[in-house]
């Protein structure tokens, strides 16, 4: 721009000099004539054109690096009171395949007049319902007079799925017979065998409903009611009604709240001479917290029955990161109603005119749980117990064939452990044990209660058509009072058994079962020796 100004100034000076030179010399005029100068400049802005890139489709370069994934599996905690909501897919193609051989019949016989029957029916199912029926019977007779038992039962279950709910009904029927042969056969000779026959009969009906909404449903519930009847050969009977109204609410991914109302009411009577009610009502609020490594739940349940209690259920579990080892601890208390059915299931030779009390148990425990690799699993638990009104069994001083109950308040420490190795469905072996040390009781011993229990089992499938198994059961340190009120320690119970089943064709197989291979006449209850060795076998038909 400065060069233009200089150029214009030079031109103007030149023009002025030319005009002065053309005027007469004599005339001197200092006035310069006016002139008009027009300067025109043309400017056009332009933007430089950028070449347009050519977009050609193509695959990105292949990623040849191998991804590395790491999964942290949180600990698995079982909650027995409340069931988790099922996972239900939004859409799933209809499965038209049928499971083969949903029904079976298993029949066998052997020494000791053994007759064995086991049958199952599972064919009754449809698109929105399923059912199962199980029928079983086992009867045996020993060498002693009136030494015989038989166990018969029927269980049926059915579930109907409708309107995002599962409606379930269950029915159980039983008839168990025992011979009262625990007397001294050299001293007593009974002619009325009907007085030596104890028969328990009963039934139970269960009804419940559970919501089966989407997996994201926060509220869960499963109301349930039950009715039952149980009686014996000597006019004892009890009728029971129970209910349970549990509900859960998922506050968020970590917290869950619980609330349950439950009650059990039983009326027991023996003819018209003896009767008492047996009832318990509980309110159980609680909360649970769970994250990747830590789980804790807290329940406080006021209980109202023969005595009122505050029943704690506190449990914490921590899984050590990058391991499969979980450390557990807790405090749990319960009320045991000691119904006639509960007591005679443990000791079928009990007098029906028994003294009734409810028991209270409280356990403080710590333990571990872990897997070693993919096949080995083990647990361990150390506990301290407070046992109020624990039922103990003493023989009748007359002929010693029946038992009565005494109650004792005592403490105990226990160690429980189990280990199992499983290799698919080919091989499995496991062992469990429980050791108890009782103290602070008013009785000299905890009569007819074992101090140690051991159980081992093993299963092997060497070829697809053959399955073999074995077990061992040990009960140790059992004390009783004889007819002279002397403390008697019963011999250790060692029961070893084995079984095998061979599949001839898909529908037919043969089995054999051997119990008490050592042939020991051990006594679980004083005066009641076992049958000895028992062998039976038969056929299983699938259809």
Per-residue pLDDT tens for 321-346? 999 999 999 999 999 999 999 999 99
pTM value?
A: 0.80
Q: Is the model's pLDDT at 46 over the cut of 70?
A: no
Confirm if 296 and 317 have CB atoms less than 8 A apart.
yes
Confirm if 531 and 147 have CB atoms less than 8 A apart.
yes
Q: Is the model's pLDDT at 87 over the cut of 90?
A: no
Three-state helix/strand/coil letters over 57-81 = CCCCCCCCCCCCCCCCCCCCCCCCC
Which residues, 6+ apart, have CB-to-CB distance to 245 below 8 Å? 221, 223, 224, 260, 261, 262
DSSP character at residue 423: E
Give the per-residue pLDDT at 397.
75
Q: How far apart are CA 469 and CA 462, in angstroms?
A: 11
Mean pLDDT of the chain: 86
- Nearest CA to 401 among 212, 104, 182? 182
Confidence of residue 217 (pLDDT cuts 50, 70, 90): confident
Give the per-residue pLDDT at 163.
84
- Nearest CA to 244 among 209, 291, 214? 209
Q: Is the model's pLDDT at 363 over the cut of 80?
A: yes
Per-residue pLDDT tens for 101-146? 779 999 999 999 999 999 999 989 899 999 999 999 999 999 999 9
Least confidently predicted of 67-81, 330-344, 450-464, 465-479: 67-81
Give the per-residue pLDDT at 424.
87
Q: What is the mean pLDDT of residues 217-229?
A: 95
Q: How far apart are CA 219 and CA 115, in angstroms?
A: 49
Domain boundaries along the sequence of the chain? 102-217, 218-542
Give the per-residue pLDDT at 272.
86
Give the range with max mean pLDDT: 92-101, 185-194, 238-247.
238-247
Confirm if 250 and 239 have CB atoms less than 8 A apart.
no
Least confidently predicted of 64-73, 187-196, 449-458, 496-505: 64-73
**Domain 218-542, CATH among 3.40.50.10490, 3.40.50.300, 2.40.170.20, 2.40.50.140:** 2.40.170.20
């Amino acid at each position: 721009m400065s060069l233009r100004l200089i150029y214009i100034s030079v031109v103007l000076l030149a023009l002025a000099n030319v005009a002065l030179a053309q005027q007469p010399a004599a005339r001197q005029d200092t006035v310069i004539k006016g002139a008009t100068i027009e300067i025109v400049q043309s400017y056009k802005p332009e933007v430089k054109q950028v070449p347009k890139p050519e977009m050609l489709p193509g695959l990105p370069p292949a990623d040849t690096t191998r991804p590395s994934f790491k999964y942290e599996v949180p600990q698995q905690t079982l909650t027995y009171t409340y069931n988790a909501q099922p996972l239900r897919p939004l859409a799933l193609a209809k499965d038209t395949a049928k499971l083969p051989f949903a029904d079976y019949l298993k029949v066998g016989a052997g020494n000791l007049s053994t007759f064995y029957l086991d049958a199952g029916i599972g064919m009754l199912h449809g698109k929105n319902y399923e059912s199962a029926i199980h029928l079983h019977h086992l009867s045996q007779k020993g060498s002693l007079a009136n030494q015989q038992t038989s166990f018969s039962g029927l269980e049926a279950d059915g579930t109907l799925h409708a309107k995002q709910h599962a409606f379930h009904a269950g029915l159980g029927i039983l008839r168990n017979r025992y011979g009262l042969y625990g007397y001294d056969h050299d001293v007593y000779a009974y002619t009325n065998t009907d007085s030596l026959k104890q028969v328990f009969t009963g039934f139970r009906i269960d009804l419940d409903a559970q919501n089966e909404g989407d997996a994201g449903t926060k509220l869960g519930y499963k109301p349930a009611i039950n009715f039952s009847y149980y009686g014996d050969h000597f006019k004892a009977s009890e009728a029971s009604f129970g209910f349970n109204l549990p509900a859960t609410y998922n506050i968020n991914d970590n917290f869950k709240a619980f609330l349950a109302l439950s009650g059990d009411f039983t009326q027991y009577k023996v003819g018209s001479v003896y009767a008492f009610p047996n009832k318990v009502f509980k309110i159980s609020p609680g909360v649970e917290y769970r994250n990747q490594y830590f789980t804790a739940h807290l329940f406080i349940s006021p209980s109202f029955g023969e005595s009122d209690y505050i029943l704690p259920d506190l449990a914490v579990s921590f899984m050590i990161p990058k391991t499969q080892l979980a450390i557990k601890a807790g405090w749990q208390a319960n009320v045991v109603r000691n119904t006639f059915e509960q007591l005679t299931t443990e000791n079928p030779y009990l007098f029906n005119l028994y003294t009734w009390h409810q028991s209270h148990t409280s356990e403080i425990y710590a333990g571990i749980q872990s897997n070693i690799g993919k096949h080995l699993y083990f647990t361990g638990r150390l506990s301290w117990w407070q046992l109020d009104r624990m039922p103990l069994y003493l023989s009748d001083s007359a002929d010693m064939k029946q038992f009565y109950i005494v109650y004792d308040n005592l403490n105990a420490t226990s160690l429980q452990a189990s280990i199992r190795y499983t290799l698919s469905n080919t091989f499995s072996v496991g062992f469990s044990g429980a050791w108890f040390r009782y103290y602070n009781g008013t009785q000299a011993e905890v009569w007819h209660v074992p101090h140690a229990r051991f159980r081992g089992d093993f299963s092997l499938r060497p070829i697809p058509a053959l399955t073999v198994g074995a077990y061992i059961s040990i009960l140790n340190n059992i004390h009783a009072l004889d007819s002279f009120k002397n403390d008697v320690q019963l011999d250790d119970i060692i029961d070893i058994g084995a079984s095998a089943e061979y599949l001839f064709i898909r529908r037919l197989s043969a089995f054999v079962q051997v119990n008490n291979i050592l042939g020991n006449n051990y006594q679980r209850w004083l005066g009641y020796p076992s049958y000895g060795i028992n062998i039976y076998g038969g056929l299983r038909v699938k259809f």
